[in-house]
Structure 1
Amino acid sequence: MASFEIIGKLVAKYDTVQRTATFKTREFAIEISEDANGRVFTNYVKFQCVQDRTEMLDRYDIGSQIKVTFNLRGTKWEKNGQINYITNLDAWRIEAVQLGSNTGTPAAGANFTPDNFPADQGVDDLPF
């Protein structure tokens, strides 16, 4: 399975949740702002940590610049004849990023930039 990296500012971290007797998770979110053709695009990405990795967040404060290494995971969920698909970004490493480095740009392999989209083809200013 491929791993991805992305750099951003820690904007939220949540308490650890004990899902079952043997499984726990913790969520957090980062802010990624990018300047593309004179316009600033801001995105918020939510991740989860599982098991012993839930403690990784303890050493980072809100506002810290961090690099998150994660795996992309998907699950098919079916209940009462309805099928749903759930996507998780499972963080497995978090590192501090020094101020003054390229903190607003995703690291190689992330491919989360507005530059990946074709130039202004009827794009409006809606946030979705």
Structure 2
Amino acid sequence: MFSISGLVKVKKDTQQITEKFKKREFVVTDASGNYPQDILFQLTQERTDLLDNINENDAVNVTFNIRGREWTNPQGEVKYFNSLDVWRLEKTQGGGQPTPPDIAPASADSAETLVDEGDDDLPF
């Protein structure tokens, strides 16, 4: 599992590849180094919806896996392909921190009930 932050440069429409498989691609510009890198990611199946509320030029944090596969063309030549499959996509505030969800803050009383400082018996 890998993670990277950057700005969404390109946002493509969902493609229905087969009856049971769909994907959606987008490009994120990582400007953290000396030379900005434009990186192509893909969302598959139900994850294609993760891009709906994100626009081009939005800052995002992308968590992904690297996938590789082998393919033999009709002439018998073996080719290898890689894809960056996204499983989590979060809009950030520009500094790489996820945007906080719209949830009402918990009261101080409810936070205290979650911590029992008197129980120091550990199972090991």
Among 35, 57, 68, the alignment partner of 2:51 is 57
Could you say which residue in structure 2 is the equivalent of 1:92? 87
- Gapped regions of structure 1 (runs ≥ 5): 104-128
Aligned length: 96
Q: What is the Cα-based RMSD across aligned positions, in Å?
A: 1.3
Normalising to structure 1: TM-score of the pair? Answer: 0.71
Following the alignment from structure 1 to structure 2, what is the Cα–Cα distance between the partners of residues 59 and 102?
17
CA contact (8 A) 2:10 2:56 kept: yes
Distance 1:34 1:48 in 2: 21
Counterpart of 2:5?
A: 7
CA distances 1:33-55 after superposition (whole Å, capped 9, x unpaired): 125xxxx3110000000000011
Q: Which has the larger radius of gyration?
A: 2
Distance in 2 between residues matched to 1:94 and 1:14, nearest whole Å: 15
**Counterparts of residues 1-128 of structure 1 (less than 5 Å):** 3-35=1-33, 40-79=34-73, 80-99=75-94, 101-102=95-96
Q: Quick one: distance in 1 between partners of 2:77 and 2:63?
A: 33
1:55-113 CA distances to partner (integer Å, 9 max, x unpaired)?
Answer: 100000100000000000000000121110000000111011113x258xxxxxxxxxx
Give the match's secondary structure for 1:41: coil
* Divergent runs of 4+, >4 A: none
More strand by share: 1
Identity of aligned residues (%): 36
Gaps of at least 5 residues in structure 2 are: 98-124
Larger RCO of the pair (alpha carbons < 8 Å, separation 6+): 1
